[in-house]
Amino acid sequence: MSVEAPERPTQTSFPTEEEYAGQLGRRQRKAVAFKFFCLAMLTIAVLALATLLYTIINDSFGLVAIVNQNDPDQVVAELGYDPDTTNLQDVSYDELVGLLEANVSSGVGRRLERDQRFYEDRLVFEDDATWAEICSSGEPPTGCTAAPRDHSNVFALVQERVVVPDVIASYPLVPSLLNPEAFEEEVAAGFEAGRFPDYEPEQAFIEWRAWFNPTFLTTPQSSTPEVAGIRTAILGSTWLVLITILFAVPVGVGAAIYLVEYAKPTRLNDFIQTNINNLAGVPSIIYGMLGLAIFVRVLEPFTSGAIFTDGVPPSDNGRTIVAAGLTLGLLTLPVVIISAQEALKAVPDSLRHAGLALGATRWQTVRSQIIPVALPGILTGTILAVARAVGETAPLILVGAASFITTDPSGPFSKFTALPIQIFQWTSFPQQEFHNLAAAASIALLLLLLTLNAVAVILRNRYSRRAE
Amino acid sequence: MTAETQIETDPGRGPFRKRPRPGELAIRGFLFFCGALSIAITIGILYELGKESFLFFGDEEVSVVEFFTTTVWQPQVGGFGIWPLVLGTLYITVIAMIVAVPIGLAAAIYLSEYANNRVRAFFKPVLEILVGIPTVVYGFFALTFMTPVLRGIFGVNVVGFFNVLSAGIVVGILIVPLISSLAEDSLRAVPDSLRQAAYALGASKLEVSTRVVVPAALSGIAAGVVVAMSRAVGETMVVTLASGASPRNFTFGQDPLFGYILNPFQGAQAMTGYVAITANGDLSYNTIDYNSIFAIGLTLFFMTLGLNALSRRFVKRFQQVYE
ipTM: 0.89
Q: How far apart are CA A135 and CA A143, in angstroms?
A: 9
Chain A residues in contact with B132 by the CB 8 A cut-off are 387-388, 391, 449, 453
Q: Which of A422, A456, A451, A417 is nearest to A436 (CA)?
A: A422
- Compute the distance between CA of residue B282 and CA of residue A10 in angstroms, rounded to an integer: 67
Separation of alpha carbons A263 and A274, rounded Å: 14
Backbone angles phi, psi at A116, to 5 degrees: -160, 130
Give the length of chain B.
323
How far apart are alpha carbons A164 and A157 in whole angstroms?
9
Asked if residues B246 and B264 have their Cβ atoms less than 8 Å apart, the reply is no
CB contact B209 to A (< 8 Å): yes
Q: Pick the residue from chain A with its C-alpha nearest to B210.
A: A34
Residues 6 or more apart whose Cβ sits within 8 Å of residue A393: A420, A421, A423, A424, B134, B135, B136, B236, B237
Q: Which pLDDT tens digit goes with each residue over B286-322?
A: 888 888 899 999 999 999 999 998 988 888 887 777 6
Which residues in chain A have their CB less than 8 angstroms from residue B230's CB? 281
Using H for helix, E for strand and C for coil, what is the string for A22-57?
HHHHHHHHHHHHHHHHHHHHHHHHHHHHHHHHHHHH
Inter-residue contact B38 to A337 (CB < 8 Å): yes
Containing A153, the helix (H) or strand (E) segment is helix A151-158
Per-residue pLDDT at B61 exceeds 90: no
- In this predicted structure, what is the pLDDT of residue B163? 92
CB A202 within 8 A of CB A89: no
Residue B29: the pLDDT is 92
Residue B41, pLDDT > 60, answer yes
Contact B134 A445 (CB under 8 A): yes
Considering only CB atoms, which chain A residues are within 8 Å of B144? Answer: 55, 59, 427, 435, 439
pLDDT value for A5: 60
CB B70 within 8 A of CB B81: yes
A-proximal residues of B, 175-194, CB under 8 Å: 176-177, 180, 194
> Does residue A52 sit at the B interface (CB-CB below 8 Å)?
yes
Quick check: A27 and B204 CB within 8 A? yes
When mean pLDDT is compared across A96-100, A236-240, B150-154, B249-253, the lowest value belongs to: B249-253
Instruction: Say which amino acid occupies A318.
Output: G
CA A438, CA A429: separation in Å to the nearest integer? 10
Closest-CA residue of A relative to B217 is A3
Domain A231-467 fold is MetI-like fold (1.10.3720)
Which residues of chain B have a CB within 8 Å of the CB of A428? 241
The residues spanned by each domain of chain A are 18-61, 63-213, 231-467
Q: Residue A78 and residue A158: Cα distance in Å, rounded?
A: 15
Residues A394, B52: C-beta atoms closer than 8 Å: no
Mean pLDDT (10-residue bins), chain A, 468 residues = 58 74 86 92 92 93 84 80 80 84 82 82 81 77 78 80 81 86 84 78 81 87 83 92 93 94 89 91 93 89 77 73 93 94 92 91 91 89 89 91 75 87 91 91 94 85 63
d(CA A291, CA A326): 8
Cβ contacts of A263 on chain B, cutoff 8 Å: 35
In this prediction, residues B39-47 reach a mean pLDDT of 93
Assess contact for B243 and B163: CB atoms under 8 A: yes
* Per-residue pLDDT at A225: 82
Residue of A nearest to B18 (CA): A361
The three state secondary structure string of A386-418 is: HHHHHCCCHHHHHCCCCCCCCCCCCCCCCCCCC
